[in-house]
Structure 1
Amino acid sequence: MPTSGDLLPPPAEAAGSHSRAGGLFQLLRDGKARTRAELALSTGLARSTVAARVDALMLSGLVGPAGEAVSSGGRPPSRFAFNPAARVVLAVDVGATHVIVAVTDLGGKVLGQRRAVLDIADGPKVVLDRVVTLGREVLAGAGRSLQELAGVGMGLPGPVEHSTGTPVKPPIMPGWDGFDVVQYIRKSLAVPVLVDNDVNIMALGERAAHWAGHNNFFFVKVATGIGAGIISSGALQRGADGTAGDLGHVRVPRGSGVLCRCGNHGCLEALASGPALAAELRGQGLDVATGADVLRLAAEGEVRAVQALRQAGRDVGDVLATVVNLLNPSVIVIGGSLGEAGDHLVAGIREVVYQRSLPLATSRLHIGVALAGASAAILGASQMVAQHVLSPAVIDATLAAAAGGV
């Protein structure tokens, strides 16, 4: 398994030396067509070296012809570009009550998708067997074979040790603690398998789809729980043990007497999550069971539901004001079932963040609602795999193995 630094390298850092095919390929990752001469000029390599590298990449299918350049006399030179359709990825979003499996190309284009209702509490073998079955079905439906599969990327609704892909004491995933997800999947699909928590995956997907120009990006999921995905200087930050971004268990000023499921008092999740808001409104005599009910009542004009969402936003804003001062993101995106539909919640967040954060840190800060919606996790899982399998080291190893097998 790659470490966190392998999953989202900035393009310039990922390229490294261009003297090998994997390094040269990084110049083509942007999709722009180039000639051998242009590649030689960019890298400083001899044209014969560039030609050999391009030939190897073309044999792999990762690079393909892209027309001809304008001739300055004589035969027009051929152009080459990255071919994202060369291989495919299985992108998997596992939620508390659902599984979505999609097949994408290496550029993140969704070629097919299947969704199933499934309880995460059924255990890892039941859920992962279903993932494999759906994966085979969606591959077949897209007209792609297992031989074209580059890897599997998966998001899980709980803490994951990023170096191994192993769930660690996930609160809503009984039977998953310490389970070797990677090896279980690889018994059926012998390709690289990368696993992360769902919020990190959503952060990758949301940024790739709508905020690619922002290298300091903060994604917040507000739903049954509250968590964040942190992208700083272009790299996804997981921390030493994969728990970076666990906003839900940061203490907020208003919650000193409120007990959280983690055993502490005053956690953000105990005040601002969907279940917390539903419980608060039930205590006021309203017929509310879930966070979705809270949103419905607010949309119908129930003042108490509107006030609860606005206050929840202020509580989230209390935490995010500190985040803004510490990390100075240029964009904060609010997602999750409560975040994407809760205009009142986002308004409360903005109110407190702009009031309490340093003026310089908020001068260009954008706070908005997630745009990728339910597709964020799929896009992120796909990108996580693509970043790994298209890295210089993996491409060089793949080409060497192919050459050795000839």
Structure 2
Amino acid sequence: MPAPTAPGPTVPGSVHGKQPGQLPPAAARPTMPTPTEALPSEVLTVHELQRLGLKANGLVQAAHFQVRAAEAGVVGASAYPNPQLTFMAGPQHARIPQALPSNSHRQFTISQPIENPFLRSARIGSAEAGVDASHASLEQVRADLAAQLRVAAYELVLRQEVARVEASVSELMEEIRRRVKVRVDVGEAARFELIRAETEVLAAASRREAAQLNAQRARVALIQLTAGALRPDFHIEGSLTDPVDLPPLEELREIVPAVNPEVTRLQAEWNRASLRTKQERAAVLPSVTVLLSNFQEAQYTSNLAGVNVTIPLFYRRRGEIDAAVADSERARGILEFRRFEIGQLLESAWQAKQIAQRRVEMFEGGLLKEAESALEVAQAAYRFGERGLIEVLDTQRVLRGLLSDLLQARFDLQVAVAEIDRLRAHYPKEDLE
């Protein structure tokens, strides 16, 4: 009596059947993952996630307080110097016996510094430039954080989709191993095929576990960027296929140098350094203090008025002026270099976007379809006994690699767009003030 025939091993893209060597249905083939049906309790879009992070992150709050400190500096720079009041009193004794006796005398002196108007205006201008620099620093912190949040959000989406792909592959490898074991047990296949199938199962399980851990790591990174404002079970309502909307490159070349927060900050710091130079030069001019004095004793009362002038005769603040000039030149040099460097960063990010778009088009329009067709051919050949299991597994591995590369290309596209948005300080700005 012939031995019973066991169902054959299955491979991606096959159809169900009960005859030996038939393959599992096409649904078992690892395809592009879709979002799960049941969503966690907190669902956020990428823009909502950015707004939440921009409100909760401690670096943004610290930059806010820095702006307040700079505004307080303007108040201090605009204040007028306070007058000084001196009062002196004490007993008085006559040295000559014929002099009229007097028990005490009193003296009041009021001094009011008269501030140099050139020095005052330069000091106030320098403080106001510090406020502009603080505002630009706040904008830079926001733009950098918004870009980090966007990249981290899409990285979480990427890791979750890779985890789904690896989970489907792991389940498929386990099904193949089970079917191969049945064939080996009934003597229809060599034990080598079972060893190969078990090796593939272990490798797939290892990849699945690593993908799940990477997804959890990306989730923790997002919670860290939002300072714990996210629930542990949050879900991102987004996809790596989200459309990108950017102005043309020529328009970006004109916009970025004008709106980039770092360029704006360095421009304000250069202005502050230049005004500090004017402040040091204005400090060379003589300073004036008006004095009013009242002296009273038993026989006399005198009222005096005078002027105290500080003349910079020996030292004319040459060291302070040279240091301020050097600091101004340093700020100008940094500004020129960073303006050029940011322009090159824009060109690099734009090229990265173009490369990622071409890769996505290449995978979606050609390579992925060819890999799917090759898998179908390998499955048919295996079904008719013209190819072995190894060829089918190799074809399935190629398809899985192309799917992973497609996901990575879509993620690279989102990263390039996030970098361009960072350079032009484009992020959700509602309800941030």
| TM score, norm. by length of structure 2 | 0.19
Q: Which has the higher strand share?
A: 1
Q: In terms of Rg, which structure is larger?
A: 2
Larger RCO (alpha carbons 8 Å, 6+ apart): 2
| TM score, norm. by length of structure 1 | 0.20
